[in-house]
Amino acid sequence: MPALEEIARAYDDVDVWHMYVREPHPQERKFKKYWPHKDYEHRVAYAKEMREVLHIASPIVIDGMDEKVHHAYGNMPNAVYVIDKAGKVVYKANWTDSPVIDQVLAQLHAEETPVAR
């Protein structure tokens, strides 16, 4: 996650937002200490812990218990969307790959930067 924030700092007009839905594998592997959310407050507590553990400085949007927003955007575990200044989705992927996001932002920035005459 911090890699995305670092990439965004290279562009003065880019904001990074994270959406927290749930732990990917509660009670499994490296998520053994995490349980499925019992209520929204429980979800908020996990999102706050994620912010600290992953050193996230950008805003975190927390989806509701019905996961309505997550489902509306495709229900993928680690999806990423790049939205241009007009609000149009110009890139989406099922998995966040920081170097690819950097390339997409560089291309978008080049397309939006006026050519000096």
Residue-level pLDDT at 46: 86
* Tens-digit pLDDT profile for residues 87-97: 888 888 888 88
pLDDT for 27 equals 67
- In the structure encoding, which two tokens stand for residue 104, read together? 């997409």
Instruction: Identify the segments of the chain with pLDDT beneath 50.
Output: none
> What pLDDT is attached to residue 1?
53
Domain ranges, ordered by start, for the chain: 2-112
Rounded to a whole number of angstroms, the CA Rg of the chain reads 16
* pTM tops 0.85: no
* Domain at 2-112, CATH homologous superfamily: Glutaredoxin (3.40.30.10)
Q: Tell me the C-alpha distance between 39 and 42, whole Å.
A: 5
Q: At what angle do helices 98-112 and 2-9 cross, to 10 degrees?
A: 20
Rounded Cα gap, residues 46 and 108, in angstroms: 34
Contact between residue 100 and residue 75 where contact means Cβ atoms under 8 Å apart: no
Task: Output the pLDDT for position 41.
Answer: 92
